[in-house]
A and B are shown apart, each in its own frame.
Chain A
Amino acid sequence: MRTSAVAGIVFANVNDNLLKKLTTKRSMASVPFGGRYRLIDFALSNLVNAGVTNVGIITKENYRSLMDHVGNGIYWDLDRKNGGLYVLPPYSTGGAKRYSGTVDALAGAKDYIKHCNSDYIVICNADVLANVDVSSAIKAHIKNEADITVVYHKGTVFANSGETMLLGLKGDRVTSVDFDSEGGAEAAFSIGITIVGRELLLRLVEGASEEEYTSFNREVIAKKIKQLKVCGFEHSEYVAFMNGTDSYFRASMDLLDADVRRQLFNSERPVFTKTRDDMPTRYGTKAIVNNCFIADGCVIEGTVKNSVLFRGVKVEKGAVVENCILMQETKVGKETQLNNVISDKNAAIGDNMVLKGTAAKKFFIKKNQVL
């Protein structure tokens, strides 16, 4: 396949409202995850690992942290003469409204889609955590002569999902779709990655805009399931949706499982991110660390258990951190105890403090907050 045969589109603001505490000042795509990543790293790496060199990121609000993170795409090798990375914020021409749905968003990116020169477009949601073999999905799409291919996972449908698309399958063919927000059922469901021919996508989006449709899944794929050849491609490995603080916390703790780590961080399909040139993490003489996922640049003098620590976290002597997610540059003072705490970037917690959430309700510390 020629280099420019496939282009990618990433929806950066998917379900921002479901992860409110972490998205007050950032998009879903730039929510920090897993010690050193932002959620969009998974979508971008999935695309890049499939040889995609032209990616448009559709965003509508709160995109400063996203712009800062992706830059010119250099960390994903997307700083290209031919193609590369395009951030596609909304136009604001005299009171134009912001995107209200995926159809609108795609219509807003029409120029990008028109000019990206590819045969196929891979559309990805930034709220999905999975390391997906997109290359094989594209091959299946071509082999099946599909109009649309939806990447799906078989398992228990996640609760509280905004709009999970359930697939009725006959072999590779999707024969029916349904939508679910309750969760709990066993089904094949879309993991937010859709492959579609570029020209077909343009036609579908133009048609849907005229009809004033909003959702590409609900109103384009669902309504045209009989006219179009819609196929499925199974991703059988780990997947998680970021549709609430609970699911964010659970997915973070999943990283403590060796199987999950193997499925998410595959050396054939590495997950790329912006590098920070931290020194390695230093463990002090009195450090006790068990069952933790820890990024570089931390200094740990105290006790840390069952936790995820981002780059540059400092845990001082006598401090005890359990069941926590501490984001970049969080400082934990001497003799302080934290349990079930999520701290956003640059939080500073003083000496001798006791902060405890519960398994059901985490104690949340805002970005730059000093306690």
Chain B
Amino acid sequence: MKSKKCVAMLLAGGQGSRLGVLTSKIAKPAVPYGGKYRIIDFPLSNCTNSGIDTVGILTQYKPLELNDYVGSGKPWDLDRNDGGVHILPPYQGQQGGDWYSGTANAIYQNISFIERYNPEYVLILSGDHIYKMDYSEMINSHAQSGAACTIAVLEVSLEEATRFGIMNAHEDGTIYEFEEKPKVPKSNLASMGIYVFNWDKLRKYLVEDEADPNSSNDFGKNIIPAMLNAGELMRVYRFNDYWKDVGTVESLWDANLDLLNPKLNLDLSDKKWRIYSRTGGMPPQYISESAVVENSLITDGCEIYGSLDYSVLFENVTVEPGASVEYSLVMPGAVIQKGAKVRYSIIAENVVVGEDADIGGDPAVVGTEDWGITVVGADLIIGSKAQISANKMITENVEEGAKI
């Protein structure tokens, strides 16, 4: 097989438990985002736009929808004769097999996949972030510096730094220390979970890590510290554009509403850096005579008869007359029936919100302490006149007139 300069490995096996009911049936990278995308569209589109045509996707948790979505890789131009996209679930060999025990173990178990392409570099990605990035620049910078590993970092505030893996680096970009969620951060360079490794180095450390029974086989906890301790040259690659972790309900909600801010540095209409997605071929959206639509993002297949403000509507959503949706995300196929009110909520796929139901609460009314985004899980039915307050996670059908 032809050698590849770089193979990308996308870690897509995590459960994303902080997204609650949104990931009860699907893996986090398959969670819908921005009206017509899924989170995984961002790393996949970044790969194809960066000239990386060989991508392994490591799956483990609830892979059905993700497998289906990725398919042959056609929407991202990753259906290639040579390379292309490959779904890599855990498998059994002659000596038995195991689930992926950690991020590093997932790559370790697929060493033979990577070696088929004999790459110089391996790019490690995750399916948790919304950003547009030219990986080819990062790989070039890595190649020129002669480092064993380059880690993409983003400057965050020192308060935020306590929530991230922090890279302490010298002025020239050389990393001397890595701290996971430090209480007193020494630097504000947060790891974005994007690594470029020289494959021969990574291979060596993966094999050593696997031999260590006490290791949790994780990049952040084990591989990176081991390489630093061994004195390998490791460097940061600074990134200054929009990047958002969408691992929590609130950050997912936030990152969606970010798209309504035209001043924000996340332009999904940029023809030079398209974000591709698998779309269902719905007809255009219809905005009726009675509709009031402001400050919102609406996708093909929607039928809007009610009012919308500050919301993102995914494919094929119906908002009936007299219904209102504010500061909310309504995912594909959901129906908001007559007179229903939805605010500060995430309504997952195919939910039916019954007539005159009232979902979610305004922080100005509820008070910031009790406030939070209300989430209604996929395929649920909310009975008419049901009332669901702020900060609720709905996992079962709700009866008519119920108060939660």
Chain A residues in the interface with B (C-beta under 8 A): 34-36, 74, 255-256, 258, 261, 264-265, 270-273, 275, 277-287, 289-297, 299, 308-309, 312
Shortest distance between the CB of B203 and any CB in chain A (Å): 36
Given known pairs A270-B281, A290-B287, A292-B287, the reply for A285 and B274 (CB within 8 Å) is: no
Task: Note all chain B residues with C-beta closer than 8 A to A271.
Answer: 281, 283
Given known pairs A290-B288, A294-B287, the reply for A279 and B279 (CB within 8 Å) is: no
Interfacial residues of chain B within 255-305, with CB under 8 A of chain A in the complex: 259-260, 262, 268-269, 274-277, 279, 281-291, 293-300, 303
Residue of B nearest to A272 (CB): B281
Shortest distance between the CB of B147 and any CB in chain A (Å): 35
Shortest distance between the CB of A36 and any CB in chain B (Å): 6
Secondary structure at the A interface, as helix, strand, loop or mixed, is loop
Bound-state CA distance A280–B74 (Å) is 20
Tell me if B343 counts as interface (CB < 8 A to partner A).
no
Task: Note all chain B residues with C-beta closer than 8 A to A258.
Answer: 286, 303
Residue pair B36, A280 in contact (C-beta under 8 Å): yes
Determine which residue in B36, B287, B298, B299 has the highest number of CB atoms from chain A within 10 A of its CB, and name it. B287
Residue pair B275, A277 in contact (C-beta under 8 Å): yes
Tell me if B73 counts as interface (CB < 8 A to partner A).
no
Task: Note all chain A residues with C-beta closer than 8 A to B287.
Answer: 289-292, 294
A-B contact pairs, 21 of them (CB 8 A): A34-B284, A35-B283, A36-B284, A36-B300, A74-B74, A270-B281, A271-B281, A273-B281, A277-B75, A277-B275, A277-B277, A281-B299, A282-B259, A283-B296, A284-B262, A289-B291, A290-B287, A290-B288, A291-B289, A296-B299, A297-B269
Tell me if B84 counts as interface (CB < 8 A to partner A).
no
Report the tally of A-B residue pairs with Cβ distances under 8 A.
110
Given known pairs A285-B294, A287-B294, the reply for A279 and B268 (CB within 8 Å) is: yes
Tell me if B34 counts as interface (CB < 8 A to partner A).
yes
Chain B residues in the interface with A (C-beta under 8 A): 34-36, 74-75, 259-260, 262, 268-269, 274-277, 279, 281-291, 293-300, 303, 308, 312-313
Given known pairs A290-B288, A296-B36, A297-B269, the reply for A280 and B297 (CB within 8 Å) is: yes
Given known pairs A283-B293, A283-B295, A285-B294, the reply for A261 and B269 (CB within 8 Å) is: no
Residue pair B283, A284 in contact (C-beta under 8 Å): no
Bound-state CA distance A279–B260 (Å) is 12
Task: Note all chain A residues with C-beta closer than 8 A to B308.
Answer: 283
Bound-state CA distance A273–B299 (Å) is 16
Task: Note all chain B residues with C-beta closer than 8 A to A292.
Answer: 286-287
Residue pair A277, B298 in contact (C-beta under 8 Å): no
Residue of A nearest to B285 (CB): A294
